Amino acid sequence: MKFSELNLDSKLLQAVDEAGFEETTPIQAQTIPLVLSGDDVIGQAQTGTGKTAAFGLPILDAIDMSSTDIQALIISPTRELAIQTQEELYRLGRDKKVRVQSVYGGSDIRRQIRALKNHPNIVVGTPGRMLDHINRHTLKLGNVKTVVLDEADEMLDMGFVEDIESILSNVPNKHQTLLFSATMPKPIMRIADKFMTEPKIVKIKSKELTADKIDQYFVKARDFEKFDLMTRIFDVQGPELALIFGRTKRRVDELTRGLQARGYNAEGLHGDLSQDKRTSVLRKFKAGKLEFLVATDVAARGLDISGVSHVYNYDIPQDPDSYVHRIGRTGRAGHSGVSVTFVTPNEMGYLRTIENLTKKRMKPLAPPTDTEVLKGQLEAVKEEVKNTLGADKNLDRFNDAVKQLLEEYSAEDLVKVYLSTTIKDAESVPVKIAPERPLPSRKVSRSRSGHGRRGRYGHDRNRNGGGNHHSRRRDDHRGGKSGEKRHDNRNNSAKSKGQSKKSFKIRTNL
């Protein structure tokens, strides 16, 4: 189904078009008409399926711009998801001039209070901080028309059920409630029974990984080691067209600057880019004029790019479905592809959860040796020389200079000098990538389904803010672990577009 068939405000359709989306995802196609008609909806779907637009577009469509009241409330489990949701709603509602405000723990509450006085139309927030504002009477819900519980099972696992019920109890009876969750345990269904009216159920099956032609690897490394390791792997593998995924916009910007500093032909893509810049970057990448596109999950959502040979997950995604979406952009149309995921020691549980979903083990990849890196760089130079000689680049204009040089030096010495100036030690250009907040540690359940305790993740409650409900809520206010999960020149002649994939070493003893 195309978005144009959904009877949405023309300004929203324009924003969708500018974002490069034409067809709806399954959750969007089924949910948007129900929300537009005023039904309560229970949506069972994983992250990465387009849920934000599924509830966001109809909410934005219904916003009365003449009112100064808060008309929609979106409750998210983490500050990162709250920020991401706010940013996506802002982009979609920008032409309509919808005001969206986020509130979450770990941020100055006084600044949030001032922002709430500016009459936002939509408020997105974490349960603890949202309830704090309600108790301070700085968040007034008297005219809220729609409430969204996003990632409800995550909020259940984090101990926010009481907070959610308190918030819902402060919303007038006559309103629409939308609940989204990857799984539907009994406590979630109790909330639905208590606060929802004859909800329509939309269930989207988790996508299976069908791209059998993708060779999947992981590299175990500490956060500060990942950038140098990644560029060394580039030299060995020689990707023709590669996507690199970072968890946040800041990460994407830093990775892009670092790659450019080392001579890689790279550009970044995230939600803060202007539409003109986004269009320009995508056009260059699709035309093969960029070798590396660094992107967040949100920015890359909906991209249909052919010819991607490699996908590098600089940050492992928190949600396994996001991994499937990421690496599914390679290995298309009968071609083979390669994915490499960098994993810190405390993130191994996430890797195992991904493997349980995909039913495929990633192979451990050993860091390349100096010999392997040099071999890869030499192969790239030889390919570049071959391509240059095969093209009409008016090389005859150098005949006199070549004759003079050969009179003074041997051809062997000249080639050595050329290689020494062409092949640089990339690590001689220092690049520092700021560490991101680590994902909370998770244990992998050994349940038959291969997923966690509730079909998704197993939680190590003792390490992740487990305990009583109040201790978790304080974590949300302070920005402790339980409230924080997500967030969004080497000489170019040494690289080659037509280069074939290089062999590299597989470590089998991890």
pLDDT higher for 191 or 468?
191
**Residue, of 475 and 273, whose pLDDT is higher:** 273
- Are the folds of 3-203 and 207-393+421-439+485-510 the same? yes
Q: Is pLDDT above 60 for 384?
A: yes
> Is the pLDDT at 321 greater than 60, yes or no?
yes
For residues 46-57, average pLDDT:
82
pLDDT at 20 > cutoff 50: yes
Q: Is the pLDDT of residue 219 over 80?
A: yes
Structure confidence at residue 98 (pLDDT):
96
Q: Is the pLDDT of residue 498 over 90?
A: no
Q: What is the average per-residue pLDDT within 314-330?
A: 84
Q: What is the CB-side half-sphere exposure of residue 67 using CA atoms within 13 A?
A: 13
Q: Quick one: pLDDT band at residue 207, thresholds 50, 70, 90?
A: low
Output the CATH code of domain 207-393+421-439+485-510.
3.40.50.300
Supply the pLDDT for residue 479: 38
Query: How far is the first Cα of the chain from the last one, in angstroms, to the nearest whole number?
Result: 46
- Please give the Cα distance from 294 to 269 (Å, whole number): 6
More confident residue, 275 or 273: 273
Give per-residue pLDDT as tens, 227-242: 999 999 999 999 989 9
Q: What is the DSSP letter of 503?
A: P
**Average pLDDT over the chain, rounded to whole?**
81
Q: What token pair was written down for 111?
A: 């600044």
Q: Which helix (H) or strand (E) holds 27?
A: helix 26-36
More confidently predicted of 253 and 19: 253
Rounded mean pLDDT, 117-146: 95
Q: Are 427 and 228 in contact (CB under 8 A)?
A: yes
Give the model's pLDDT for residue 325.
Answer: 78
In the predicted structure, residue 189 carries a pLDDT above the cut 80: yes
SS3 490: coil
**Mean pLDDT, to the nearest integer, of 440-460?**
41
Over residues 81-87, mean pLDDT: 87
Whether residue 258 contacts residue 433, with contact meaning beta carbons closer than 8 Å, is answered with yes
Average pLDDT of the residues in 164-189: 90
**Sequence spans of domains, the chain:** 3-203, 207-393+421-439+485-510
Q: What is the pLDDT of residue 94?
A: 92
Contacts of 431 (CB under 8 A, 6+ apart): 227, 228, 257, 258, 261, 262
CATH topology of domain 3-203: Rossmann fold (3.40.50)
Please state, in angstroms and rounded to a whole number, the distance separating the CA atoms of residues 372 and 231: 13
Q: 310-313 and 146-149: which strand pairing? A: unpaired
pLDDT for res 332: 64
Predicted local distance difference test score (pLDDT) of residue 430: 85
Q: Is the pLDDT of residue 25 over 90?
A: no
Count of all residues that appear for the chain in the document: 510
Place of tokens 């080497």: 490
Report the predicted TM-score, pTM, of the whole model to 2 decimal places.
0.53
